[in-house]
């Protein structure tokens, strides 16, 4: 799934990413240059909406939340007035001011004129002026007010000359805000009609919009579909963390683990839950792993490394006690390496106190290698503590070479 972004705060965990964060930069919409006339002819004629489908503009989606569908006053007249107003806004070089003005203008524009705005954004992009934030805002507003026409329009488009992120962002923003204002309608459409970019592309938007209000129900439904992947799991965890906090997110995940949810979904959620916890409360992440050490996800080396690194950055002594309790060499090594960056002497002292440990050679060897680029004297001291003569001599040779350069 192309929107599955793998974010990580540190190099060890490139899979932690959380959500659909697309880097929108100048020229992000198009693959290459094309003339304005080519852009215009790629758009459908004025009567592009299917006659045999219900027009959601004529029958607005109902929502249980008041004012979910909003309008900003008198609508702009179609035609030149729309083009002039939006062209003026899009030429504003002050990004925040431009985006705010664009959003306000959207609320005064009929959705039937939104295709014209797509054309204008494309035109500006072809000139080298990126409008990624405006692109997202357009589809969010379209999804709130007339999602069926937005999806009809996407179907009519030839996206072959566009960057793949453009249609992905369009369908997901539409589904997010459709689910936000009319969950029943969005869910019914997703389950019965093929979406323009394929079902899986619309899935992320649906789950994210749903999870913002009811992550439990969204998770239960997602598990039943078997379609969940990185992005959807991230949307669930982000929603829980944002609305309920760290402790509630941890309890929620453990409840899912004990409920007999599919292993694929548990493993996917675990990556996102630990990724969220280590950034907010690494001790909480460590406790979660410790309580579940017999489970596959809690033995994931990347999750253990990430937790150990952040825990050791905050409290290396407690982190090492945790690593010893869960009997993880991976955790001990990561704690020791992180500790050495913070307090080299203290880390070496701990290692010296564990010379008889069966893990000493591996721990010392890896720590010494790390210290070679930080403190050659400390690296030599650690290397000399290694009882395995072959490993010790190899390390000392590397250190000597480094010292002579």
Q: What is the pLDDT of residues 54-66, one digit of tens each?
A: 333 333 333 333 3
User: From CA 132, how far away is CA 134, in angstroms rounded?
Assistant: 5
- First-to-last C-alpha distance (Å) of the chain: 48
pLDDT-wise least confident of 49-58, 101-110, 200-209, 354-363: 49-58
268-284 pLDDT tens trace: 999 999 999 999 999 99
For residue 30, which phi and psi values (nearest 5 degrees)? -105, 155
Q: What is the mean predicted confidence (pLDDT) over 347-364?
A: 94
pLDDT value of residue 251? 96
C-alpha to C-alpha distance for 172 and 208, rounded to whole angstroms: 9
pLDDT grade for 405, boundaries at 50, 70 and 90: confident
Average pLDDT over residues 96-102: 95
Cα–Cα separations (whole angstroms), residue 333 to 11, 210, 251: 16, 41, 29
Q: Token pair for residue 104?
A: 């306000």
What is the average per-residue pLDDT within 193-216?
Answer: 85
Would you state the pLDDT for residue 130? 75
Please compute the mean of the pLDDT values over residues 373-392 and round it to a whole number. 94
Q: How confident is the model at residue 74 (pLDDT cuts 50, 70, 90)?
A: low
pLDDT, tens only, 110-139:
999 999 999 999 998 888 887 899 999 999
| φ, ψ at 385 (rounded to 5°) | -80, -10
- CB-facing half-sphere around the CA of 261: CA atoms within 13 A: 25
Phi and psi angles of residue 162, each rounded to the nearest 5 degrees, phi first: -105, 150
- What span, in angstroms and rounded, lies between the C-alpha atoms of 306 and 142? 40
Is residue 236 within 8 Å of 19, Cβ to Cβ? no
CA 168 to the chain's CA centroid = 14
pTM (2 decimals)?
0.77
On the CB side of 82, how many CA atoms lie within 13 Å of its CA? 21
For residue 71, the SS3 value is coil
Look-up: residue for tokens 């990580």? 8
Choose among 123, 119, 126, 125: nearest CA to 153: 119
Q: Which residues pair with 30 in a beta bridge?
A: 162
């Amino acid at each position: 799934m192309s929107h599955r972004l793998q974010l990580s705060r540190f190099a060890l965990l490139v899979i932690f990413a959380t959500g659909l964060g697309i880097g929108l930069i100048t020229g992000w919409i198009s693959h290459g240059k094309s003339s304005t006339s080519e852009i215009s002819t790629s758009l459908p004629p004025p009567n592009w909406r299917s006659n045999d489908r219900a027009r959601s503009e004529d029958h607005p989606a109902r929502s249980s939340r008041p004012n979910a569908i909003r309008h900003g006053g008198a609508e702009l007249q179609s035609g030149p007035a729309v083009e002039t107003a939006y062209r003026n806004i899009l030429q504003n070089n002050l990004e925040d001011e431009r985006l705010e003005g664009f959003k306000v203008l959207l609320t005064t524009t009929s959705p039937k004129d939104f295709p014209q705005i797509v054309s204008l954004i494309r035109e500006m992009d072809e000139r080298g002026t990126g409008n990624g934030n405006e692109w997202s805002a357009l589809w969010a507003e379209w999804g709130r007010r007339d999602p069926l026409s937005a999806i009809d329009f996407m179907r009519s488009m030839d996206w072959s000359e566009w960057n793949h992120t453009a249609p992905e962002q369009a369908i997901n923003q539409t589904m997010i805000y459709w689910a936000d204002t009319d969950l029943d309608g969005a869910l019914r459409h997703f389950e019965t009609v093929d979406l323009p970019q394929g079902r899986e592309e619309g899935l992320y938007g649906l789950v994210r919009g749903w999870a913002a209000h009811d992550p439990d129900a969204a998770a239960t439904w997602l598990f039943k579909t078997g379609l969940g992947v990185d992005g959807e799991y991230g949307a669930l965890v982000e929603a829980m963390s944002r609305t309920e906090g760290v402790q509630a997110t941890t309890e929620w995940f453990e409840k899912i683990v004990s409920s007999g949810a599919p292993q694929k979904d548990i493993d996917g959620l675990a990556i996102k839950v630990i990724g969220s916890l280590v950034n907010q409360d690494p001790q909480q992440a460590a406790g979660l792993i410790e309580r579940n050490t017999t489970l596959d996800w809690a033995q994931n080396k990347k999750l253990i490394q990430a937790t150990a690194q952040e825990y050791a950055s905050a409290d290396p002594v407690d982190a090492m006690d945790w690593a010893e309790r869960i009997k993880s060499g991976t955790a001990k090594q990561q704690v020791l390496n992180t500790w050495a960056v913070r307090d080299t002497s203290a880390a070496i002292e701990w290692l010296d106190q564990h010379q008889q440990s069966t893990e000493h050679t591996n721990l010392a060897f890896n720590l010494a290698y790390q210290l070679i680029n930080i403190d050659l004297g400390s690296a030599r001291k650690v290397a000399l503590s290694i009882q395995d003569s072959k490993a010790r001599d190899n390390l000392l040779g590397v250190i000597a070479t480094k010292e002579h350069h």
